[in-house]
Amino acid sequence: MKTAFLGLGTMGAPMARNLLAGGADLTVWNRSQPALDSLREAGANTADSPEAAVANADVVFSMLADDAVSEQVVVDSGALAAMKPGAIHVNMATVSVPFAKRMATLHAEHDVTYVAAPVMGRADVAAAAKLNILAAGDTQAIDTATPLLETMGQKVWPVGESAEMANVVKIQVNFMLAVAIESMGEACALGEVYGIETGKFLDIVTNTLFACLGYQSYAGLIRESKYKPANMPVTLGNKDVGLALSAANDRQVPLPLGGVVRDSLNEIIANGDGDKDWGALAEYAAKRARIDRSRDA
């Protein structure tokens, strides 16, 4: 089975490497040459354009930043039109619900099956092939892609036959994570003004009531005040919270905490720190309490 991978960024590059490690016959494309050179050295075929990368592929994977970039790379470039009839395109990016619906329709018009498979996990998790992968779309297509997905993750979670359902779940997850980081940051600030050392507080809560991966991983960033290099830049986190608010608005679902976190993320971006990890929500919660825990990263 021939495969292709579009987008070799912070997440895409290690995912493509794991496909190679699993024995995939892989052709890759990326805008920047260094990422392509690195994957070529690892054994991948490389292409000069998205269209050339996907032309002979049975399964195409893409991991791109957002709706606009996905549209440009997959549709505007001619890649979708170049996919052979019966091919499967697995979009692993976090995109909006309307975009996922439109992409599914557009792919069907080209006799290509569209599967949404956004991932849960940061770059280090991707490198370790420990991602949790959400999957929605045609059941047979998901079954075909699953052995390949399993080389990139520890578990594939089918969530429905309409592609956008996977994107809804991913939006839910990222919304919860954003709220968790904001709440941790605010709680730490509250304790610190009363003399409670932040590291000690985080050790307590992440080993008792909040002893889970989401809290524990971001507690480490907050404890060290180390937000660069970013696994999840504030700008992308802001995009994902915006997706949650947009999806909620479409169905008249109140998300009051969403507005709070969006404002916090916008504050960070307005202060020139949009390239920091969104764990910096905690840094700004401290700043509002007139505490400065920031360090040069």
Torsion of CA 120, 126, 130, 132, to 10 degrees: 20
If phi over 0 gives left and psi between -120 and 50 gives alpha, with beta otherwise, what is residue 137? left
The secondary element (H helix, E strand) that includes residue 27 is strand 25-29
Residues in the chain: 297
Q: Establish whether 101 is a catalytic residue.
A: no
Give residue 197's Cα distance to chain centre: 32
Residue 6 to residue 50: CA distance in whole angstroms: 7
Residue 211 to residue 225: CA distance in whole angstroms: 20
Give residue 293's Cα distance to chain centre: 27
Of the residues 84, 170, 228, 239, which is catalytic?
170
Residue 78 to residue 120: CA distance in whole angstroms: 29
Residue 278 to residue 285: CA distance in whole angstroms: 12
Please say whether the beta carbons of 250 and 97 come within 8 A. Answer: yes
Residue 36 to residue 27: CA distance in whole angstroms: 10
Residue 66 to residue 80: CA distance in whole angstroms: 17
Residue 282 to residue 237: CA distance in whole angstroms: 14
Least Cα distance to 198 among 226, 174, 229, 222 occurs for 222
- For the chain, report the end-to-end CA distance as a whole number of angstroms: 43
Q: Which long-range contacts (CB under 8 A, 24 or more apart) does 210-214 make?
A: 214/176, 214/177, 214/180
Positions annotated as catalytic residues are 170
